[in-house]
Amino acid sequence: MTLSILHRMTGLALTAGILMLAWWLMALAWSESAYRTLTSGAGAILLRIVLALWLIAYLYHLANGIRHLFWDAGLGLEKAQARRSAKLVIAGVTLASLVLVFAFFLRGAT
């Protein structure tokens, strides 16, 4: 149940992220001053945190969505199997998040 609620929350976060991306692209296309105005309030560290959280939300939503595809095929529906797949999703997302956040955001930050 918790993972289902988290799946919906990450879907909302991804939607908000897409809207922010569209806003950023419109400012970029509009003019240099519009782009500067939009990005001047977003500090580099804050922007990196938001992007990292968006990446983690994407990874979770993708992994849990694949889990749901297996369920749609009638696989892994037993309680023990569902718990095992939940643990796999959490472990996979944690590992992928650590690797990708380090690679994209922390490696060249120092």
Q: How many domains does the chain have?
A: 1
Distances (CA, A) of 58 to 7, 9, 14, 78, 83: 10, 11, 7, 26, 21
Domain span holding position 102: 2-106
Can you give the CATH number for the domain in which 82 is found? 1.20.1300.10
Please report the pLDDT score of residue 109 as a whole number.
58
Please report the pLDDT score of residue 37 as a whole number.
81
Residue 33 tokens read as 């001053």
Q: pLDDT digit of tens for each residue in the chain (110 aa)?
A: 889 999 999 999 999 999 988 988 998 899 988 888 877 766 667 878 888 999 999 999 999 999 999 999 999 999 999 999 999 999 999 999 999 999 988 876 55
Please report the pLDDT score of residue 50 as a whole number.
86
Please report the pLDDT score of residue 56 as a whole number.
96
